Amino acid sequence: MFKSVSSKVDFSKQEEETTKYWKKNKIFEKSVTSRPVNKRWTFLDGPPFVTGMPHYGSLLSSLPKDLFGRYWTMKGYRVRRVWGWDGHGLPIENKVENELEIMRKRDIEEVVGIKKFIDECKHYVNVVSSDWEWYVDRIGRWVDFKNAYKTWDTNYMESVMWVFKQMYDNGFIYKGLKVSLYCPHCSTPISNFEVAMDADNYKDTKDPATTYKYQLEGEKNTYILAWSTTPWNKIVTPALAVNPKFTYVKVKQGNEFYILAETTLKMLEEKPKYEIVEHIKGKDLIGKKYVPHYDYYAKNANGKLFEIIGGDFVTAEEGTGVVTIAAYGEEDLKVMQEQGVHIETHLDDEGTVKPEVPQFGGMYYLKANKLVDEDLAKRGLIYKEVDYVHRVPLCWRCHTRLYYAPIDAWYVNVKKLKPLLKQTNEDIHWYPKHFKHGRFLKSLENAPDWNISRNRYWGSPVPVWECECGERFVPGSIEELEKASDKTIKELHKPEIDDVTVTCKKCGKNVHRVPEVLDSWIEAGSASFAERHFPFDQTEKLEDFFPPDFISEYTGQIRAWFYVLHVIGGALYKSQAFKNVNVTGVILGTDGRKMSKNFKNYPDPAEMLDKYGGDALRLYLLGSPVMNGEDILISEDHYKMQVRGTMLILWNVYNFFITYANLDGWKPKAKVSKSENILDQWILVLLENLKTNVTKSLDGYDTVEAIELIKSFVNDFSTWYLRRSRDRVGPTAEDEKDKQAFYQTSYEVLVTLTKLMAPITPFIAEEIYRNLTDEESVHLASWPASAEASKNKPELLEHMQVVRKIVELGLAARKENQIKVKQPLLKMTVQLDEQTNQIDEKLHYLLLDELNIKKVEFTKGKDETTVVLDTTITDELVAEGQVRELIRKIQEERKKLETSLDEKVNVSLESWPVQFTDYIKKQALIDTLSEGNFEVTRLG
Ligand SMILES: [Zn+2]
Ligand SMILES: [Zn+2]
C-alpha cells in the first residue's frame, strides 16, 4: 500500500516537512559523499555581501546554482557546494562610519583610531543575518552553510596574497599615476565597473559649459577658445591641446581675434558678425605659448607649461576643437605624461581645493565652479557660458558625485592581458550565447587597466613592502613574510600588518608596507583558489577545481565578477576562469522600476514563499525569460499559476494513481510484459523523448526549455493519457490485464518523471518519489538514461497527434450543432488531407470514446482535415444519453456522501430507460435500484 494522498494539498507546508526530513536524514550530505571523489563537477559560488538581505535577485541566482548542482549529482558527479561571504570593503566601512558617527575619513585615523575601526568592522561582519538560511531552505537550495568561507578569514586573505604575488611575478601588476573615478567622501578610487553595474549610479546634472579665452603670448587681442564643463579644473591649466590633423581658423569678431577648429564655427555668437582671416593647420599651433588664467604653481613647475600641445584624442564634436589640459582627466594625464607637461594636483583627498591655492583654497571643488567662472568673466576671459545637462557617475556606496582624479595606485595591466583574455573567452560556454561576443567581449575590449588599490582600511593588504631606494618585497605567503620580518604573523589586517617591517635587500633600510588595501574585487576574483586556501592546502589538486565547471549570476556581473575572475584566471594560468556560465536577467518591480521598499512595487518574498512554496518559485523563475538574460517584472500571478498549473495537475494524476492502486492493492512488479494498450505505448514513447530532450536542455544549461518540456509532458499525461485511461481502473473495469498495464505504466512514468523533475522542483519530486518507492530520496537516485529520440516510434506520436486533432475538430462540431458530448451519435466522417497519413486502427477507439460516437469513417481529400457528424438522434441514442446523465448525477451524490470507490449504494430514480437497468447498476455500483424521488443512500 502507498501512503494515501489528499487532493487538498498545501505545497508550502509539505515542503517544510520535506526540508526537515532532508536535514534529519542528512540527504544533502549523502548526495555529495555517495558520489566518487575522483569524478567531480565543480561549482563556484559568487558570495553575497554579508550585510545584504535576501531579495528576489539573490534568490534567483541561487536557483540555477541549486538546479545544476542536483542535476550533475544525479548524473553521478560529486558536487561540492559551499556557501561564501564577501565582507571586506566600503559597504562595511560605511556602516561602521555611521555607527561611530564618523563624518570624514581622516577621523578614522585621527579621532577613532584604526585599531578600533577595524575591530568594529570585524564585529559587524561576524554577526551574519540568520535570514539567509530560512530563505535558502524555503527555495530548496542545498548548500553548506556551516563551512562557509569568509573573505576576511586569514586563510582566505593568505590565498589572496598569493594571487597578488603570482600576478606581480608574471608582470601584470604595476604602480603608477593614473586617472581613476574617485569618491571624495570615501576618499578612495572607485572601479568604473562598480559604477557601471547599476543604472542608479548615474544622475543627470546641469553644469555650466564654458568657452574660455586664452590669449596667445605676444599676440594682443588674439585668443584661442577652449570649451570645458569643469570650471574648478580651470584653476590649473598647464597646457591646451589641439588636434594636429584639424584645420583651425582665426576669425575676427568685433575687436578681437579667436582661434578655433573650422568645423566648430557654428558655436560662435551670431553678433557681431565674424569674418575668417586665416586658416591654420593644427600642427602649426603646437608649441605656441598662451597667457595662463592662474599661475600660482608656475614657480615649482617641472616640465612644459602654458604651451599648446598636440593630441589625437581632441575631437571637434563639442566645443571648439581645443581642450584644456589638467591632471584630472584620463586622456589629459596620459598626454601630459607622454609629452612632459608639468603635472599639478590642486585637490586634496576629500575633494577640497588645497589650502595653498590662492582665492579658492579650502573650498569644496564643486563650490569653486561658480566662483572661478565669475572671476574669469570679470576679467573678460570667458567667451560664453551655457547650461549643459550630462550624466555624471555617483559613488555606488555613498552616492556622492565622483570625479576623475590622478591617483598613485596599483594596477593590473589589463591592456597587456587583453589579447589573451579575448582568446580564453573563446573557451567559455556562455548561456545565453550572445553575451560571449556581445557584452562580455565588449567590456573586455573597453576595459582600462584595473586599479586594485584602495586608500582605505578594511581589506586585504596590498602585500608590498617598498623601500625608498625602489626595492620591493612582495611575499606570497605568511611564512615568507614571517621569515623576512622575523615576526610571527597572526593578523593580516591593518593596523597590525603595518607594524610588520622587513629589511631592504638592496640598501639595508627598514621597510614598511605600502599603506593601501586591495580592492575587494580581487578577493571575489580569487574565490576559486582562496575558498580552498590554495595553494597552502593541498588536499585538492588545481585541476580538480580550476577552472570550475559552472558559475551563475545576473547580467550586472558581466563587467564585474565574471570579468575579475577571467582577468585573474588569465594572469595566473593563461586560462579561462570558468567553463560554463549562466547569466540571468534582472527581476524588476511590478511597475518596471528597480524593486524598492519605498516604491512598494514588489510582493514580499517571504510571504510569497509561505503562500506558494519554493517549487513554484523555481518553476516560475527557472522557466521564465529571466534565465535567458532578459529582465522581467515580478508577478505574483505568474508565481501563483505554477501551483494551479503544473503542480496541481501533476498532483491530481498522482492522487488518481495512488487512490486506485491502493483500492486494488497493486504493487510494482520487477518484471513486466510490454503493455498492449496503445495509450501506454504512446505515453512511454513520450517519456523516452522527454528523458532525451530534458537531458539535452540541461546539458546545454537551458532551464527554460527543460521546464517547457516537462510542463507539456505533465499536460499530455493528465489531459490525454489519464483522461482516456480513467475507465481502465476502478470497480467497473473488467480487463484485469489492461488494468495491470495501466498501473505499471503510470508507475513507471511517475517514477521517471519525478527523477527528471528532481533538480527543478526538488520538493514535490521527493514527496512523490518517496511514496512510490522504498528509496531514501530521489536526490540520491541516478539520472534516467535516455535512448536516441529518433528511435522512439515517431509514427505513433504522429498518429496520436492526428487523433487529438480530430478530437478537437469533433468537439467543435458538436458545439456547433449544439449536441452535448453526453449524447451518443452514430457516425462521424473524417476527411484527412493529403499530407496526413491514415491512422492506425488501434487508435480509433480513442476517437469513439472521447467523442462518444459509435463509428468513424475516413475519406481522403485535398483540403485540410475536416470532420462531419451524423446528427441523427434515434430514440435509442436519446435513452443512452439519458443513462449517461443519470450515472453522472449518481456519481456526484456518491462524492457528496464520501463513499469509497468500491462501496455499493441504494438509489431511487423517478424513471430510467429500463433496458439499461443492469448497465446503470453496474456503472454506478448500485445495490438496489428503485422507483421514487431521486435519492442515493448508503447501505445499512
Ligand atoms: Zn563614496
Ligand atoms: Zn632599499
Model confidence pLDDT, tens digit, residues 660-680: 999 999 999 877 778 999 999
Cell of 768: 512523490
Residue 792 pLDDT class (50, 70, 90 cuts) = low
Q: How far apart are the CA of 513 and the centre of ligand 2, in A?
A: 13
Q: From ligand 2's centre to the CA of 169, what distance in Å?
A: 19
Q: Which amino acids are annotated catalytic?
A: 47, 86, 521, 557, 561, 594, 597
Proximal ligand: closest to the CA of 465: 2
Q: Which has more pLDDT, 734 or 150?
A: 150
Question: What pLDDT score does 458 carry?
Answer: 97
- The chain-wide mean pLDDT, for the chain, equals 94
* Closest listed residue to residue 738, CA positions, set 677, 684, 653: 677
Who wins on pLDDT, 380 or 787? 380
Q: How far is the CA of 568 from the centre of ligand 2 (A)?
A: 30
Question: What CA–CA distance (Å, rounded) separates 332 from 388?
Answer: 21
Each residue's pLDDT tens digit, 16-28: 999 999 999 999 9
Cα 278 from Cα 282, distance rounded (Å): 13
Q: Residues 445-460: what's their mean pLDDT?
A: 94
Question: Which bound ligand lies closest to the C-alpha atom of 97?
Answer: 1
Ligand that comes closest to the CA of residue 94: 1
Q: 880-892: per-residue pLDDT in tens?
A: 999 999 999 999 9
Rg (CA), the chain: 38
pLDDT for residue 191: 84
Query: How remote is the CA of residue 193 from the centroid of ligand 1, in Å?
Result: 15
Ligand nearest to the backbone CA of 397: 1
Tell me, in angstroms, the distance from the centre of ligand 2 to residue 509's CA.
Answer: 5
* CA 466 – ligand 2 centroid, Å: 8
Residues, CB within 5 angstroms of ligand 1 (ion):
183, 185-186, 395, 397-398, 400
Neighbouring CB atoms inside 10 A of 603's CB total 17
State the distance from the centre of ligand 2 to the C-alpha of 456, rounded, in angstroms. 26
User: What's the CA-to-centroid distance between 106 and ligand 2, angstroms?
Assistant: 29
631-664 tens-digit pLDDT = 999 999 999 999 999 999 999 999 999 999 999 9
Spatial distance between the Cα atoms of 921 and 134, rounded to a whole number of angstroms: 55
What is the SS3 assignment for 831? strand
Residue 119 CA to ligand 1 centre (angstroms): 21
| Residue 793's pLDDT band (cuts 50, 70, 90) | confident
Q: Residue 907 forms beta bridges with which residues?
A: 929, 936
Q: Is the pTM of this model over 0.85?
A: yes
Contacts of 339 (CB under 8 A, 6+ apart): 239, 304, 309
Q: How far is the CA of 646 from the centre of ligand 2 (A)?
A: 72
Q: How far is the CA of 472 from the centre of ligand 2 (A)?
A: 8
Kindly tell me if the per-residue pLDDT of 844 is higher than 80. Answer: yes
pLDDT given for residue 829 in this prediction: 93
Ligand closest to CA 509: 2
Phi, psi of 696 (to 5 degrees): -60, -45
Over the stretch 71-116, which tens digit does the pLDDT of each residue have? Answer: 999 999 999 999 999 999 998 999 999 999 998 899 999 999 999 9
Kindly give the distance from the C-alpha atom of residue 503 to the centroid of ligand 2, in angstroms, as a whole number: 8
Mean pLDDT of 862-881: 90
Question: With 0-12 CB in 10 A as exposed, 13-18 as middle and 19+ as buried, what is 564?
Answer: buried
What spacing in Å lies between the alpha carbon of 388 and ligand 1's midpoint? Answer: 24
Band the pLDDT of 791: cuts 50, 70, 90: low
Please report, as a single letter, which amino acid is at residue 909: L
Distances in Å between the Cα of 88 and the Cα atoms of 156, 157, 168 are: 12, 11, 22
Question: Which pLDDT score, from 0 to 100, does residue 259 have?
Answer: 97
Residue with cell 509532458: 713
Please state, as a whole number, how many other Cβ atoms lie within 10 Å of the Cβ of residue 82: 17
Ligand 2 centre and the CA of 510: distance in Å? 8
CA of 501 to the centre of ligand 2 (A): 12
The reported pLDDT for the residue numbered 787 is 62
Q: Using alpha carbons, list the distances in angstroms from residue 156 to 84, 459, 718.
A: 11, 12, 52
Question: Which ligand does the CA of 470 lie closest to?
Answer: 2
- Apex 84 CA angle, 79 and 85, nearest 5: 170
Ligand nearest to the CA of 510: 2
Residue 571 CA, ligand 2 centroid: distance in Å: 28
Q: How many angstroms separate the Cα of 425 from the Cα of each of 68, 446, 566, 569, 576?
A: 22, 15, 8, 11, 6
Q: What is the mean pLDDT of residues 555-564?
A: 94
Residue with cell 615649482: 300
Distance 504 CA to ligand 2 centre (A): 5
- Nearest bound ligand to the CA of residue 91: 1
Write down the pLDDT at residue 891: 92
Q: Kind of pairing, strands 866-869 and 82-85?
A: unpaired
- Residue 524 clears pLDDT 60, i.e. is over it: yes
Q: In what order do the strands lie in the sheet with 188-190?
A: 188-190, 173-183, 403-412, 450-451
Is the preceding peptide bond at 358 cis, omega within 30 degrees of 0? Answer: no
Other beta carbons within 10 Å of 124: 18
Alpha helices per DSSP H over 470-573 = 478-485, 520-525, 527-530, 542-545, 561-573
Q: Which ligand is nearest to the CA of 508?
A: 2
pLDDT digits (tens, 9 = 90+) for 468-499: 999 999 999 999 999 999 999 999 999 999 99
Angle, alpha carbons 56-59-64 (nearest 5°):
130
Mean pLDDT of 147-171: 97
Confidence class for position 788, pLDDT limits 50, 70, 90: low
